[in-house]
Homo-oligomer: A and B are copies of this chain.
Amino acid sequence: MNSKALQRQVNNPEVGVYECELHLKFRLIEDKSLLGDREQLLQVLLDALTEGNDDFLETLQASVKAQEISEFKASPQMRRQLMRLRNFSDTIQ
């Protein structure tokens, strides 16, 4: 990596707020006992999807979207986080 690329990485002020939509249908081999409440089910499905398609998972339909939006639509917590990230990148420039 050249120094310019490194600098860009370190400084990286290029963060934004995105509105994302994920719509996935898939078949999955899974252990019945793991498919508990909604929160656990979500985690199990996310873990399986992170592994990708294999003998355990077959994607049927996948729609993935991300669109940059105004940061003023984000929650106060997110806006504060965004300010921290930008201030940090200013400091180390």
Contact = CB atoms under 8 A, between A and B. Distances in A.
A28 B32 contact: no
Contacts of A12: 31-33
Stoichiometry (number of copies): 2
Contacts of A74: 27, 29, 58
Given A24-B21, A77-B55, A16 B30 contact: yes
Interface of A: 5, 8, 11-12, 14-33, 35, 38, 41-43, 45-47, 49-50, 55-56, 58, 60, 62, 64, 66, 68-69, 73-75, 77-78, 80-82, 85
21 contacts: A11-B31, A12-B33, A15-B29, A17-B28, A19-B25, A19-B60, A20-B24, A20-B27, A22-B22, A22-B49, A23-B24, A27-B75, A29-B78, A29-B81, A29-B85, A32-B68, A35-B66, A38-B64, A41-B66, A55-B81, A56-B78
